[in-house]
Structure 1
Amino acid sequence: MNIVDKQTLADLNVTNSQYRDMVDFFDRTITWGGRDTLYTYFLEPLSAKSEIEDRQWIIRFMQGVDITDILDKYMMQDLEKYLSLPLEPYSATKTSYYLELVSTNFLSLDFKKRDLLIRRSIYEIAKIIDYLNVFLGSIKSQHPTRSIIANYCDKIDCVLEDIDQAEFEKLLENKLSLELMIKYDYQFRNIKRNAIREVFEVLYQLDALYGVAQATKGKPLNFPSIDDRNLGSDMIKIGAAYNLFLEDPVKNDIEIKRGGNLWYLTGANMTGKSTLLKTIGTCVYLAHLGFPVPADVMETVLFDGISATINLGDNINVGASHFFNEVLRVKHLAELLAAGKKMFVLMDELFKGTNHNDASEATLELINCLHKFDNSVFLLSSHITEISSLLAGGTTIMKHLAVRLDEEKGLLFTYQLADGVAEEKLGMWLLRREHVFDILRKTQSQQ
């Protein structure tokens, strides 16, 4: 999946600083680089089944190991500082450079601080390389076909390929002569600088994946199955999907089939339409990250992109109204569909920025246009039930969220997905139950 925009990220609470978001939920990283890597994962959903399954596998693996011994955010901060020292020595050779330092500044405080930073950094880099070499090497020997591990091992081998083993052992013992310090400072900070940075990236990725593993360990989240051949009738099938951010969520089963890939979800405010859309969207999004999803079981095809229009507002900066922003969102979607992109689309109360008749006509026309894009999935929610009869008998799947009316207890929201169209007129029922019209009539009769 390579098509995701800021509106979708905000609507699905992927990255939203105002509320608890997905990044916060899955973040158990230790290093700052690990958190940055995790954040990047959320901005770059995966497109290939093999990549998704590799990431699923390593997260599962990480749930059974402990790599905290090598994860130290302050150590990594110092090592990043070390690698940011000048690329080249000031003198013609590395030897003359350090000899000048020794002869002229040996007793200075700056030299001692620099010398301490270099020696400690060489030791810590060697320790990281050795740890990863043993850890990843062990995994590779047991799982030689896992490309993600093979790729990590290649980056470690790139650093180790021409390093003398006996000298490397001395680095690990933190026994650095001046000669070794000069040699490996020059190696690590100059010749192998880029390779060392790639080793750091491996560590940060492991930190991010380990963080996800620890955040989800023991929780009711499960890894989805991915269908990249599109042979079956099911496009999305989710058992007991629930909202990730609710304390006591209601679970729903979702089944979207080919030929029924457009849902029209009706119901009044507070019935849970937006929450349901976000729940399904979250599952689809996390599935494309290779992360576990909030459901008992899930199967999904792969999409080229996901587009959510749930909490769309006005754009005061460019003078755009809510309705015009809706039009621009639909236009952008139309361009993607026309280009052959397979999209997963969520639209909540579309065209609410215009009058009821206009919105009804626009919604009906849009649905009629979307039907021919049978490789995409469209979930549309609306208050507009009048057009339901015009959609019946076609390939539009009518859904609603059930609600019960009780004269004593009031509205009882079940948040359970049901077939058909919402028939309840909650507004009039509530107004009558609260005797609003009776109060007004009584007041008028007394005047």
Structure 2
Amino acid sequence: MLPNPISSDILGVDSHTAKDLEIFESDTGDASLFDFCNRTRSVGGAVVLRRRMQNPWASGERIEFTQQAIRYITERRALFNQMPSVYAVEGTQNYLQEILPNLDFRNRLEFVLGAFQVWANQDSHYFSIVRGAQATCRLIQALRAFVTQPSLKKPPGELGPLLQRLRAHLSRPNFRLIPDYDVGAWGTWKMLKLDQILRVKEKDALNRLLAINYELEALVSMADATCEHNFSIPEICTGQMQVEAEGLYHPYLANPVANPVALNQQHRILFLTGPNMAGKTTYLRAFATALYLAHLGMGVPAQTFRFVPVQWLFSSISLTDDLRRGVSYFRAEALRVKAVAEAVARGERVLALMDEPFKGTNVKDAFEASLAILERFSRRDNCLFMFSSHLIELSDDLQRLHNQVDCRYFEAVETGERLLFDYRLRSGISDQRLGMRVLREEGIFDLLDPNSDTTSVPMQTAL
């Protein structure tokens, strides 16, 4: 479960929204959004990327700070090939965590005796020390070479403070003693003295170096994913909430159909209709995924994307009942709407997406509940909503909601033997009713008609 926002700088993304967007796991076993973005090389880099994705920014300044770093990395990608190898990073991490004898003796004689004992009686420990010290020296050497590149003298965004801290740690007197050549040929005495410096005196400083390297890895991963998927960097706006996009698509689709988005204070609600399979849910997921990535500071799957950052992103797409807790499907729907209402009532900037809400009750209740919620949402300044529904009967009532509702729809092409879908967003409300046709196309009535001949039906279809 994702944490609630710990400050006004953090976007609220609750566990249900994280599940809907498949941020960290997919019900189908396919790659998650985290997997889709993860190009890190080390375990620590992946941990930092996950932490970032658990806490997207809600502050425009913070988002822009990350955007600047990602742009810079993308434009000068070769510079970041000089970062330490995964061997040096993982080797140093293992070296600092491994249980090895410490020769932290103030007395010179005790150190000599201890060093002899390690060398003579604990061969595996000694070779682990040598291997770890070598990896750590390579880490320091690589970071030193990386940070002294002229083009990285004054990088923008998040890179500036990170590299400033990196330079400060590398300037420690003990780290300046690390040579620029491989220390593998050093003798036992000299190597164990180096081990004492690295693993005893400078352990905390080395952990801080690793932490900075992991932050850099996460930023490079976000930049690489943005570039690899040909995402565009969004434009951050100020003022009251709005989101506008052209050419928006879902990044998981092989041949996606792109569509626009326009939500603002003149049209706070997008009311989406259309038959099943026409593209409503995919459109909602595509929009929510793009907005989430925008708050990370990454690029998004769209030609252009402009937005004012929000404080809460809610989705209500894959609801289920809960037998163990005695929560029916309709109560689960009501609780989901309540979570949105609570954030709205606190005066926070909310963007919520609801996919065919109130399916768990009768048509009359669903109509009245939908209209009541839409009326109240339409009066809320600085909040935006997407609301998909099959209740086309709402159209007359929506016209009187002070023009706050923008009606759009998807449709099916009914010519030919099978339904076809172009997944294009259109203006207006759909009046297509295709349930009976879908049942006929699937041959269900033929199976149930006692006069029909089902002997030629393939076994898998009959089942």
Q: 8 Å contact 1:222–1:296 — kept in the other structure?
A: yes
Aligned to 2:119: 106
Compute the displacement of 1:256 (Å): 1.3
Q: What do residues 171-226 of structure 1 show as CA deviations (whole Å, max 9, x unaligned)? A: 75556455654444333323332221121122222222323333343533111011
Aligned to 1:412: 420
Compute the displacement of 1:340 (Å): 1.6
- 1:241-256 paired onto structure 2 within 5 Å: 241-256=248-263
**Highest relative contact order (Cα 8 Å, sep 6+), 1 or 2?**
1
Q: Secondary structure at the match of 2:410?
A: strand
1-structure distance, mates of 2:320, 2:448: 35
1-structure distance, mates of 2:262, 2:110: 69
Aligned to 1:53: 64
Aligned to 1:322: 329
Q: Secondary structure at the match of 2:419?
A: strand
Q: 8 Å contact 2:267–2:405 — kept in the other structure?
A: yes
Q: Secondary structure at the match of 1:387?
A: helix
Aligned to 2:310: 303
| Seq. identity, % | 28
Aligned to 1:230: 239
Gaps of 5+ in 1: none
Compute the displacement of 1:70 (Å): 4.4
CA RMSD across the alignment: 3.0
Normalised by the length of structure 2, the TM-score is 0.85
Amino acid of the structure 1 residue aligned with 2:431: E
1:128 aligns with 2:139: yes
Q: 8 Å contact 1:94–1:186 — kept in the other structure?
A: no
Q: Secondary structure at the match of 1:245?
A: coil
1:201 aligns with 2:201: no
Q: What do residues 107-129 of structure 1 show as CA deviations (whole Å, max 9, x unaligned)? A: 22x2x332232233233223323
Aligned with 2:21 (options 12, 15, 24): 12
* Aligned residue pair count: 437
Q: Name the CA shift for 1:282/1:2 in 2 (closer, same or farther; >3 Å).
A: same
1-structure distance, mates of 2:105, 2:55: 44
1:83 aligns with 2:90: no
Q: Name the CA shift for 1:122/1:48 in 2 (closer, same or farther; >3 Å).
A: farther
Q: Secondary structure at the match of 2:39?
A: coil
Q: Name the CA shift for 1:174/1:230 in 2 (closer, same or farther; >3 Å).
A: farther
Aligned to 1:396: 405
Q: Secondary structure at the match of 2:250?
A: coil
Q: Name the CA shift for 1:155/1:430 in 2 (closer, same or farther; >3 Å).
A: closer
Compute the displacement of 1:441 (Å): 9.8
Amino acid of the structure 2 residue aligned with 1:212: M
Q: Secondary structure at the match of 1:107?
A: helix
Aligned with 1:426 (options 412, 434, 438): 434
Q: 8 Å contact 1:83–1:189 — kept in the other structure?
A: yes
2-structure distance, mates of 1:387, 1:161: 69
1:189 aligns with 2:194: no
Aligned to 1:352: 359
Moved more, 148-157 or 273-282: 148-157
Moved more, 351-360 or 15-24: 15-24
- 1:313-392 paired onto structure 2 within 5 Å: 313-392=320-399
Q: Name the CA shift for 1:438/1:217 in 2 (closer, same or farther; >3 Å).
A: closer
1:160 aligns with 2:168: no
Q: Name the CA shift for 1:311/1:336 in 2 (closer, same or farther; >3 Å).
A: same
1:118 aligns with 2:134: no
Q: Name the CA shift for 1:351/1:87 in 2 (closer, same or farther; >3 Å).
A: farther
Aligned with 2:77 (options 46, 52, 65): 65
Compute the displacement of 1:255 (Å): 1.4
Aligned to 1:93: 106
1:213 aligns with 2:223: yes
Compute the displacement of 1:149 (Å): 2.5
Compute the displacement of 1:99 (Å): 2.5
Compute the displacement of 1:291 (Å): 1.0
1-structure distance, mates of 2:334, 2:160: 45
